[in-house]
Structure 1
Protein backbone atom coordinates (compact mmCIF):
# COMPACT_ATOMS: atom_id res chain seq x y z
CA UNK A 1 0.00 0.00 0.00
CA UNK A 2 2.83 2.41 0.81
CA UNK A 3 4.42 1.72 -2.57
CA UNK A 4 1.18 2.64 -4.37
CA UNK A 5 0.96 5.90 -2.44
CA UNK A 6 4.60 6.58 -3.28
CA UNK A 7 3.91 5.97 -6.98
CA UNK A 8 1.04 8.46 -6.88
CA UNK A 9 3.26 11.03 -5.17
CA UNK A 10 5.97 10.49 -7.80
CA UNK A 11 3.39 11.07 -10.54
CA UNK A 12 2.15 14.27 -8.87
CA UNK A 13 5.75 15.42 -8.50
CA UNK A 14 6.33 14.72 -12.18
CA UNK A 15 3.25 16.72 -13.17
CA UNK A 16 4.29 19.68 -11.04
CA UNK A 17 7.76 19.61 -12.54
CA UNK A 18 6.67 19.01 -16.16
CA UNK A 19 3.91 21.62 -16.15
CA UNK A 20 6.12 24.08 -14.26
CA UNK A 21 3.31 24.75 -11.80
CA UNK A 22 4.32 27.29 -9.22
CA UNK A 23 3.61 26.11 -5.69
CA UNK A 24 4.53 27.37 -2.26
CA UNK A 25 7.76 26.28 -0.55
CA UNK A 26 6.21 23.25 1.14
CA UNK A 27 4.71 21.52 -1.91
CA UNK A 28 7.57 21.73 -4.39
CA UNK A 29 8.14 18.76 -6.67
CA UNK A 30 11.35 17.92 -4.81
CA UNK A 31 9.60 17.76 -1.43
CA UNK A 32 6.82 15.55 -2.80
CA UNK A 33 9.44 13.28 -4.40
CA UNK A 34 11.28 12.99 -1.06
CA UNK A 35 8.04 12.02 0.69
CA UNK A 36 7.55 9.36 -1.99
CA UNK A 37 11.08 8.06 -1.44
CA UNK A 38 10.41 7.88 2.29
CA UNK A 39 7.29 5.81 1.65
CA UNK A 40 9.22 3.47 -0.65
CA UNK A 41 11.89 3.05 2.03
CA UNK A 42 9.23 2.25 4.64
CA UNK A 43 7.65 -0.24 2.24
CA UNK A 44 10.98 -1.97 1.64
CA UNK A 45 11.61 -2.05 5.39
CA UNK A 46 8.37 -3.96 5.86
CA UNK A 47 6.28 -1.26 7.52
CA UNK A 48 2.62 -1.59 6.62
CA UNK A 49 3.08 -4.84 4.77
CA UNK A 50 0.31 -6.58 6.66
CA UNK A 51 2.45 -9.57 7.55
CA UNK A 52 2.13 -10.53 11.16
CA UNK A 53 2.72 -13.67 13.15
CA UNK A 54 -0.50 -14.99 14.62
CA UNK A 55 -0.26 -16.70 17.93
CA UNK A 56 -2.68 -19.45 18.75
Structure 2
Protein backbone atom coordinates (compact mmCIF):
# COMPACT_ATOMS: atom_id res chain seq x y z
CA UNK A 1 0.00 0.00 0.00
CA UNK A 2 2.79 2.42 0.85
CA UNK A 3 4.52 1.70 -2.46
CA UNK A 4 1.39 2.77 -4.33
CA UNK A 5 1.17 5.96 -2.29
CA UNK A 6 4.80 6.76 -3.03
CA UNK A 7 4.25 6.12 -6.75
CA UNK A 8 1.32 8.56 -6.72
CA UNK A 9 3.42 11.16 -4.92
CA UNK A 10 6.24 10.73 -7.46
CA UNK A 11 3.73 11.16 -10.30
CA UNK A 12 2.33 14.34 -8.73
CA UNK A 13 5.87 15.68 -8.32
CA UNK A 14 6.57 14.87 -11.96
CA UNK A 15 3.42 16.68 -13.10
CA UNK A 16 4.26 19.75 -11.03
CA UNK A 17 7.77 19.81 -12.47
CA UNK A 18 6.89 18.95 -16.11
CA UNK A 19 3.91 21.27 -16.42
CA UNK A 20 5.74 24.05 -14.58
CA UNK A 21 2.75 24.54 -12.30
CA UNK A 22 3.23 27.38 -9.88
CA UNK A 23 2.42 26.26 -6.36
CA UNK A 24 3.07 27.72 -2.97
CA UNK A 25 6.30 26.98 -1.10
CA UNK A 26 4.82 23.94 0.63
CA UNK A 27 3.85 21.89 -2.42
CA UNK A 28 6.89 22.28 -4.64
CA UNK A 29 7.93 19.30 -6.72
CA UNK A 30 10.97 18.74 -4.50
CA UNK A 31 8.88 18.60 -1.32
CA UNK A 32 6.38 16.17 -2.88
CA UNK A 33 9.28 14.03 -4.13
CA UNK A 34 10.79 13.97 -0.64
CA UNK A 35 7.45 12.87 0.79
CA UNK A 36 7.39 10.08 -1.78
CA UNK A 37 10.89 9.01 -0.80
CA UNK A 38 9.90 8.98 2.86
CA UNK A 39 6.88 6.77 2.17
CA UNK A 40 9.01 4.50 -0.01
CA UNK A 41 11.59 4.19 2.76
CA UNK A 42 8.83 3.20 5.19
CA UNK A 43 7.66 0.56 2.71
CA UNK A 44 11.16 -0.87 2.31
CA UNK A 45 11.60 -0.90 6.10
CA UNK A 46 8.53 -3.10 6.42
CA UNK A 47 6.14 -0.58 7.91
CA UNK A 48 2.61 -1.11 6.63
CA UNK A 49 3.39 -4.46 5.04
CA UNK A 50 0.32 -6.12 6.53
CA UNK A 51 -0.62 -8.22 9.48
CA UNK A 52 1.48 -11.17 10.49
CA UNK A 53 0.16 -14.02 12.57
CA UNK A 54 2.63 -15.11 15.20
CA UNK A 55 2.44 -18.08 17.46
CA UNK A 56 -0.03 -20.05 15.35
CA UNK A 57 1.05 -23.35 14.00
CA UNK A 58 -0.49 -25.04 10.99
CA UNK A 59 -1.07 -28.75 11.19
Q: If the length of structure 2 is used for normalisation, what is the TM-score?
A: 0.88
Deviations 1:8-36 (A, max 9, x none): 00000000000000000000000000000
Unaligned runs of 5+ residues in structure 1 are none
Give the paired residue count.
56
Unaligned runs of 5+ in 2: none
Q: Distance between the aligned counterparts of 1:52 and 1:3, measured in 2?
A: 18
Q: Which runs of 4+ in 1 moved over 4 A?
A: none
Match of 2:5 in 1: 5
Whole-angstrom distance in 1 between the partners of 2:9 and 2:45: 19
Q: What is the Cα-based RMSD across aligned positions, in Å?
A: 1.1
- TM-score normalised by the chain length of structure 1: 0.92
- Secondary structure of the 2:23 match is coil
Larger Rg: 2
